[in-house]
Amino acid sequence: MMKRTIVTLPGDGIGRVVLEETIRVLDAAGFDANYVEGDIGWEFWKNEGNPLPERTIKLLAKHKVALFGAITSKPKDAAAEALDPALRNNGLVYSSPIVNLRQYFNLDICMRPCHTYKGNPLNFIRRAANGGIEEPVVDVIIFRQNTEGLYSGIEWSDPPEEVYQALMTHPKFAKNFANTPKKEISISSRIFTKKATERILRAAFDYAKQYGYKSVTVCEKPNVIRETSGMMYKMAQQMQKSYFHDIELWNTNIDAQMMWLTKNPENYGVIVAGNLFGDIISDGFAGLIGGLGFACSAQFNPDSGIGVFEPTHGSAPKYAGYPLSIVNPIAMIESACMMLNFINENELSEKIRRAVSQVIEEGNVRTYDMMKMHGSPDLVKKGAASTSEMAGAVIAKL
């Protein structure tokens, strides 16, 4: 078989170190691949006016599979100020390269698993009925629609006249906003299409069936957001009735779900949601299994076979400049395991996952987050493992 080429997209801040340590783990596990680096992130925005250069898109189109670290994003005005003076006043507007990557390649299926690691000192615990302590086992996977909804970027402040006039045709807009000057109105639109909704629902149900989950939960807000959330839930009902009788369909509202996830997280299995609510709920569940140092994700298009695998954390700028990196590489390592599953290297994936679980369970090597320390450069002297030591501990188990 031809050796695989994996595109690496380190991005900004801690993205590079967690990615480098993850490649060390992949090498040690025996994954035989070439790596080519793609440019993405803040530097390329500042210097070229484009955080996702065309050459990076070509690289991913060619090799199809990428490991992505993290990027730094800043609000509109801060981004404009950061731009190289020679590029200013050219009408360049910053937009998130990772969101653009998702949309460009239609990476519409996002999977974010949250599983309890045995022995993780950060595991969620709660008070039991008898006054004791319970540690419920979380085994949840969130299917997040990754290209539409509130993140689709169709937004205006002081909207163009035709947009404003179109909104005025809606009785509720005319009633509640007609007295507000147009200049004082900002709009972010939430668009769901049937096609994309059907694809994320099917991905969730298929997964539940394949891995024996008893339920699929649609987590939206159909009683209030009637058109978009309502459509998703209705389509889920039809799909369950037609194809997935043996799987229960549950319906929770995002707000209530955020409460229930600490009351009874063990009751949930596969959860499916739109873009924003999927983002929120997956961070919520990640908090129960150790937080951002453990939260991994896959985003892909099953038709094209293009996939990007990334930890859900960002570039953590405050820890980026440390001479010895202290951040936890497990979220990135687990994202690489999802990549291995995507390309059918299931045994390798399992091997790395087992090694990670063993290291966590033994508890001899723990990064600062696992020791509930506040990040600072001298933590390694106080017993916290560095990023590299954690990766090394995983490698030792392989």
Binding at 331: pick from Mg ion, ligand NAI, none (beta carbon under 5-8 Å per type): ligand NAI
- Which has the closest alpha carbon to 65: 305, 397, 353? 305
- The CB-nearest residue to ligand NAI is 314
Distance CA 129, CA 125 (A): 13
Nearest approach, Cβ of residue 53 and ligand NAI (Å): 17
Residue number, 64 or 112, with CB nearest to ligand NAI? 112
Binding at 290: pick from Mg ion, ligand NAI, none (beta carbon under 5-8 Å per type): none
Residue number, 205 or 294, with CB nearest to ligand NAI? 294
Q: Can you give the binding site for Mg ion, defined by CB under 5 A?
A: 279
Binding at 314: pick from ligand NAI, Mg ion, none (beta carbon under 5-8 Å per type): ligand NAI
Instruction: Name residues whose C-beta falls within 8 Å of residue 217's C-beta, 6 or more positions apart in sequence.
Output: 249, 250, 251, 252, 257, 268, 269, 270, 271, 272
- The CB-nearest residue to Mg ion is 279
Nearest approach, Cβ of residue 277 and Mg ion (Å): 11
Nearest approach, Cβ of residue 136 and Mg ion (Å): 23
Residue number, 8 or 72, with CB nearest to ligand NAI? 72
Binding at 279: pick from Mg ion, ligand NAI, none (beta carbon under 5-8 Å per type): Mg ion
Q: Can you give the binding site for ligand NAI, defined by CB under 6 A?
A: 18, 70-73, 98, 292-293, 310, 313-318, 327-328, 331, 369, 375
Residue number, 12 or 345, with CB nearest to ligand NAI? 12
Distance CA 262, CA 136 (A): 10
Residue number, 257 or 315, with CB nearest to ligand NAI? 315
Distance CA 145, CA 278 (A): 7
Distance CA 385, CA 362 (A): 14
Record the tokens describing residue 300, joined without a space: 């892909």
Contact predicate 188/163, CB 8 Å: no
> CB-based burial of residue 25 (10 Å sphere; 0-12 exposed, 13-18 middle, 19+ buried)?
buried
